[in-house]
Structure 1
Amino acid sequence: MFNLVVDNLDETLQQVKEGGAEVVGNIQEEEYGRFGWFVDPDGNKVELWEPPSS
């Protein structure tokens, strides 16, 4: 699994879902940001990280 930094987690998860990826799990909110995951069409799990607003 690898991690990508995104500006807007909700928007990015919607885009990957529309592109054919499977969103997995629930969004996790921590003091150091928000996390979401998806599995791409090749079966690779990807973590998305939205850092907290500064």
Structure 2
Amino acid sequence: MAKVTGIGGLFFRGQDTTALAAWYEEHLGVPGFWAQEAGPTVFAPFKADSDYFAADKAFMINLRVDDLDGMIAKLSAAGVAVETRPDEWDNPQTGRFARIHDPEGNAIELWQPPA
């Protein structure tokens, strides 16, 4: 039986697509095309009135990381504001989380899955 085998791309609009693509590659190591490492991917619609991310945005990107503390340090050193809420977001069953925003205000959740 035919089935989907993974996410083939994430496409979103931007005001300055060249600068936005460069920001993602510089700060997160995400080039325009990359073979991501195997691992879990969550595909989940959120209720329209959810306050988990900004109400005026239709989506939030969640990126898996292997070293959340290292990524936070790297981003902070580059002047990228990083939000953490360990008591609210982190737990042994789901892992650890941090949030940043790209230059156009799109929320990016950084996720270090549990070991």
Task: Using structure 1 for the length normalisation, give the TM-score.
Answer: 0.76
Residue number in structure 2 paired with 1:50: 112
Give the distance between the partners of 1:20 and 1:44, measured in 2 at CA: 17
Matching of residue 34 in structure 1 with residue 99 in structure 2: no
**Paired-residue identity, %:** 40
Structure 2, unpaired ranges of 5+: 1-59
Q: How many residues align?
A: 53
- The Cα of 1:50 is off from its aligned counterpart by 0.2
Report SS of the residue matched to 1:22: coil
Report SS of the residue matched to 1:23: coil
Report SS of the residue matched to 1:13: helix
Residue number in structure 1 paired with 2:72: 13
Q: How far does the alpha carbon of each residue in 1:5-48 deviate from its partner, in whole angstroms, 9 at most, with x for none? A: 00111110111111121112423212111111112343332100
Structure 1, unpaired ranges of 5+: none
Residue number in structure 1 paired with 2:83: 24
Quick check: which has more Rg, 1 or 2? 2
- RCO greater where, 1 or 2, for CA within 8 Å and sep 6 or more? 1
Higher strand share: 1
Task: Using structure 2 for the length normalisation, give the TM-score.
Answer: 0.41
